[in-house]
Structure 1
Amino acid sequence: MAGGTLAEQQAEQAGRISDEMARQSIEHQQALQASAEKRWKVAHEGLVEIVRSLDSDYYDACQKSGHAIEGFDDETLHHWIIFRVKSLQTRLSQTMRPDNSSILQSQLDEAIRKIEDLQKEEKRLREIIGGLQAENRQLTTHLHAIRQVQRPAIPQEESQDGQQPEVQQEHSRIVEAEPDWMKEWRSSRTFAKESAAIILMGETGKCLRPSLVDLLAKKLNLSANNSSLSETFNRLINFDTQGGLIELLHVFEQIGASTGGNRPDILRLTERGQQVYQWLTGKVPVENEYERLVRRHKTPEHTLLNIQAAEELVDVGRYQVTEQAPDIHLPDGSLFIPDLVALDPRTGEMIFVEVERQAGKDRAARVRKWKNVLNATNGNIYVVCDNVECQRAIQTEINQTLGDARFNSHLTNINSLRNGKRGQDGSIWLSVWRGR
């Protein structure tokens, strides 16, 4: 193919997308962090102004001594203000005698009122500072998580390079001369479609039959409803008496899917099919999508749901999804393992997406999970569920688990999306709750 194979083009495009995702997301989070720090500075200056108002002589003395009040931390300023206010209250109470004039009494009342106002303002500023410090910590954690998203990319490539000789040795058992059946197949009338399907699976690693049919239709410039496309995969499953070039994986105990209807067929190249791909392209096929992801996820059902969720994010939500989400180590020592990492091209924001089939029964584990999600996402929680019942249960679980924490939640479910439902803003997210 001109300009490189589909796999090379996809790899190059994925690299560009990954770099752009990291750059835009880091810029976005750095801007938020800078805003939080600016708001904290305003609140800190408010505390300094209270100190100046309470005792200008002390303020000037500190300035002249080289220990400016502005350099004091918020906790020190708080304790000084409390001490000074109590001192003023003591002095005021000592001056209050029965023979005081009405003018003095009025002055005392006014002074007490000012002290009370200052105490309220100091309390308000401390609350603002506390909130800004918490927000800054959360932003720092989120930025820490985003930076780790890109770290596995380089080691993974180095690892692949390091293993390349072994991989090449394993796949070097390629017969230089094609067997007779291969020559006969090349001359058959179905070769064009069947070879295109083999190359498609080898280049992309895609495994879901409906997705493969759609991709093959685009590759051959045909309608996805063309029955010959699905029949092409059937012929490859039952290729000849020696076996198929692709195979159907039987990994589910039940046929019905919680997303509605039946579960899609999961296909992969057989060992013979991988050999054919190498004869056709001279390259080693990409690892099958299902086999790569099932090692990471809990069950075949959860693995399938992750694949489907990623497709919905791309096809319906217009997100850009990374190839594989890394393990993320948070500053507090906890481990956050997102199901999917995606870039919102409209805002440049990188989001971590959880994929759920049902609310968990292990309360302690679920509390840890959602608190890790809260910290790693800066309170912007995104969840894709299998159906509306699960979506409602997960929303309740999140609300109960996080309690008074401030967060935004965005939930959706695959079954409703496939039935054409969209959020109020026309987006993929059917339930949006903003608490920040």
Structure 2
Amino acid sequence: MDGVLLVLPDHWNVKEMDSLLSKGKHVLLYGFPKQLSISNEERFTFQDLTFEKSLHVDSRLSLVGDQLLTLGFDAGLVLDVTAMSNKFVTKTDVAQAVSISDDNLAGGKQYTRLFAKSNEKGGRLVWMDFSPNKEDHAYSLNLNYFNGLIASIFRFLDQDKPTYQAIALWPQGKKFAALLEEDTEDQYYEAQRVAEYFGSKNYPITWYVLSNDAQQYKSVTRLLAETGEMACHGDNHQPFILNSERQQHMRLARCKKVVKALTNQTVYSFRPPEERHDNTTFSALANNDFRYFIGKTAVDRFVPQLYQNKEKTKSIVSMPRMGSDDYSLWSQYKMNAEDSINTLKHEADWVETVGGLYMFSFHTQYMGDDNHFHTVTGIADYIAKKPVYFALTSEIGEWWKVRAALQQKKAVSKDQFAKYQPVTLKVSKTGQLERSDVLFE
């Protein structure tokens, strides 16, 4: 790989690097410029990067999806990668990876950890604030993903490599996706005002109902079906992990049967009470033809994942919740209305930056409070104005299976193709990110 200059921390000069890039050189920079460590200035700018002195640096990074260095990686993928310095941070509007807190949840400062660009002279730049050597990082680092990222960096810097491409993460090449869902349980009737608002705005929403309660409030349940997608939260709120696989199977079948009888909608999605489940839950779901699942929080990526039942005969799409829910806002932290909506907006912005799936989960028992209700409608209005794939659980889940099929060169239906309008992203020979529609075959 001729012509790639590797420069170590505190050994690179900003003016020299600018000059090399303007001459079409390919440069890999580690750490921070010499000027920052010897200067009294608090801030320094170089090639769309702003370096600042800081007292705190997060120890993990989260990949930004669908970028020059991250095509083929899951958006928000978390790597336990240690920064070279705990005295400086970096900011840019076009990061390849950003900092994330140790709890793997959306939010925080979102400092830049990895950056890439090319210029009209043919120069290519990659800057990273971490070492490419695995020995310099925590033992918990996933080496498969880390080695893949390092390989992607050098692939971008080597212009002799062929172009590379991937199916964009979201339908129509949208920047990120969003899902709002209500656990419809205690004070079931409070779902009506939410349904009326979402129906008036034509916003997508998924209702995770307890079937015992749905039977008591049949007219409300039918209204929910008219304004959104029906899903199961269980027959009652007893945690599923207290049951055997046979009992879990029976409870899921009961919920599905009741909802179908009340609304004529076939249920395919499940969210366990208290977000508690075990390994047998997935088999019970698969055996009842459930296809989508919400119950995992703070996992290592901001996109859905495919899981198989223990017989490996069926797959289930699991949607991660990577931010606040209503319990954390109003029970744990007791936030007021202004702080609540600001927190949710900040988390949605964070997920938009990494290109992942934003999900907000809330409960009927909070919807009798006007402040809580207006927080829910406020975040829905905020999301709807963004470049987002705002959708139902089943739509996001089906898309994730369609995308996997396209990646594996498997056939998808013409209707699915027309519905999701998949997009290909390609890094060109000149180092630019190009977009094109996938053609149906």
Q: TM-score range by the shorter chain?
A: under 0.3
Bigger strand fraction: 2
Q: Which has the higher contact order (CA 8 A, sep 6+)?
A: 2
Q: Compare CA radii of gyration and give the structure with the larger one.
A: 1
Q: What TM-score, normalized by structure 2, do the two folds share?
A: 0.25
Bigger helix fraction: 1
Q: What TM-score, normalized by structure 1, do the two folds share?
A: 0.26
